[in-house]
Amino acid sequence: MIAGRAVPLAALLAASAVAHAQPNETGNVSPALGAAVAAYRAGDRVGAETSLRALAPADADAAAWLGALLLERGASAEGLQLIRRAADAGSAEGAHRLALVFAYGEAGLPRDEAQALRWFQRAAEKGHQRAQLNLGTLYLRGPAASRDLIEARAWLEKAAANGDPYALYALGRAMSESMGPAMADPARAADLYRRAAEKGHPFAALRYGLALGDGIGIKPDAIAAQRWLVHAQASGIAEAALALGDMAARTPVSRDKATNEKALKSAIAWYEVAAHAGVPSAQFKLANAYLAGAGVARDTAQAQQWYDRAARQGVTQAQNALGILLIGGAAAAPDPVEGYKWLLLAERGGHPESRTIREKTTAQMTALDRKRAEELAQRFSPTPERPLDDAAPRLNLPKP
């Protein structure tokens, strides 16, 4: 349900900067830099820069932090010079910051994944926790040539040793997958998701809720699953609303008609929440409900609208359904060119019925219209409505 997607390298990484720093996070910051880094993370750039400039000549880590601050405010040349100097002097923070420069393509440098991996490795070997997390993430999710689940797990184990929720979550993802000789360990993954969720990681709450609901690596517990999924949804994870909708939809059929209707309406309500937030699978399921009049009044125009949004995000089943509606003119005037385009895309995506329907449509179209539809399909590229990564969401501790 929560499918993996190819994302840019930089989107995967934890920069250990202001946005995701926690109040009690010290990481690899020495006591001498504590006040300056705390000021930086609190948004006091002027105070932080003043303190770091005083410390930088004799402290390579201070130079690295100063360089990061300068990059952030646009002083790229000086910032990069300070970071390079710190990295060359053996600073783990400097190596980590230089790796991030290469990963993001900052300070006028092109993105260079090989260099990013090299400098993350240097920082990680010196015990830099965020570098260990990023290095493990690259081995897990980076370019295909660098993927190594065994290495990913090894570095993420180190990163998670102090209980960092982001590292616990990443290690959980690594333990839930198989690659070569490394087999999935769903029980360990569920436990890691639980630990990260208890520390406020919302995606961990989502995956722990899913594990509880499906009994993957842990004894099924529908009540606990719902509690964690509701927490994840309240923390801004719209996919949790989809999961809650699926849970309601799977409610065993009762002899009581009112009970069945209540479960169905609950499912539709959660699908609506997820669909409006841009979750493509929820948009497809909501469209199905409107087309069938299941839990809502039958509304073909609404169904077409939701199929359209899901189709534009690349959902093959929605592309097929949208193509059929457009060709038949079920919700508005027929549009055979657009309909043919969506059927062609659904066929390319592996939908088993699209080719037969498209070929029946061919006889009713001019060669010019077919060519236009094929050109539109060729130019199509899925457009996600939601962010592509789940690397470092803001923590939100669950209520006791």
- pLDDT of amino acid 400: 83
Classify the C-alpha dihedral 360-364-368-369 as positive or negative.
Answer: negative
Q: What are the tens digits of pLDDT across the range 287-332?
A: 999 999 999 999 999 999 999 999 999 999 999 999 999 999 998 8
- pLDDT of amino acid 392: 78
CB 175 within 8 A of CB 153: yes
Instruction: Answer yes or no: is pLDDT of 389 > 70.
Output: no
Instruction: Answer yes or no: is pLDDT of 13 > 80.
Output: no
Tell me the mean pLDDT in the region 136-153.
90
Residue 199 DSSP SS3: coil
Tell me how far apart the alpha carbons of residues 369 and 64 are, in angstroms, rounded to a whole number: 59
Tell me the mean pLDDT in the region 129-146.
90
Instruction: Answer yes or no: is pLDDT of 15 > 80.
Output: no
Q: Which residue has the higher pLDDT, 84 or 15?
A: 84
CA 342-346-348 angle, 5° bins: 115
CA-nearest of 288, 352, 274, 296 to 321 is 288
Q: Which residue has the higher pLDDT, 108 or 6?
A: 108
Tell me the mean pLDDT in the region 225-247.
97
Tell me how far apart the alpha carbons of residues 271 and 238 are, in angstroms, rounded to a whole number: 10
Helix (H) or strand (E) holding 337: helix 336-348
CB 237 within 8 A of CB 202: yes
Domains of the chain: 7-13+36-136 (1.25.40.10), 257-379 (1.25.40.10)
- pLDDT of amino acid 364: 85
Instruction: Answer yes or no: is pLDDT of 245 > 60.
Output: yes
- pLDDT of amino acid 101: 95
- pLDDT of amino acid 217: 98
Instruction: Answer yes or no: is pLDDT of 16 > 60.
Output: no
- pLDDT of amino acid 12: 61
Instruction: Answer yes or no: is pLDDT of 6 > 80.
Output: no
Classify the C-alpha dihedral 284-288-290-294 as positive or negative.
Answer: negative
Tell me how far apart the alpha carbons of residues 190 and 169 are, in angstroms, rounded to a whole number: 10
Mean pLDDT of the chain: 92
68 φ/ψ sector (left φ>0, alpha ψ -120 to 50, else beta):
alpha
- pLDDT of amino acid 398: 96
Residue 170, class by beta-carbon neighbours within 10 Å (0-12 exposed, 13-18 middle, 19+ buried)?
buried
Tell me the mean pLDDT in the region 224-228.
98
Please report where in the chains the tokens 């093959």 appear, as a residue: 316
CB 326 within 8 A of CB 365: no
Tell me the mean pLDDT in the region 32-36.
93
Query: Which of 168-177, 347-356, 386-395 is the least confident region?
Result: 386-395
Tell me how far apart the alpha carbons of residues 3 and 45 are, in angstroms, rounded to a whole number: 39
Q: Which residue has the higher pLDDT, 209 or 253?
A: 209
Instruction: Answer yes or no: is pLDDT of 336 > 60.
Output: yes
Query: Which of 81-90, 185-194, 196-205, 355-364 is the least confident region?
Result: 355-364
Spatial neighbors of 361 by CB under 8 A, at least 6 apart, are 327, 336, 339, 340, 343
- pLDDT of amino acid 24: 37
Instruction: Answer yes or no: is pLDDT of 374 > 50.
Output: yes
- pLDDT of amino acid 322: 98
Instruction: Answer yes or no: is pLDDT of 254 > 90.
Output: no
Classify the C-alpha dihedral 144-149-151-152 as positive or negative.
Answer: positive
Spatial neighbors of 168 by CB under 8 A, at least 6 apart, are 160, 192, 193, 195, 196, 199, 201, 204
- pLDDT of amino acid 387: 77
User: pLDDT band at residue 390, thresholds of 50, 70 and 90?
Assistant: low
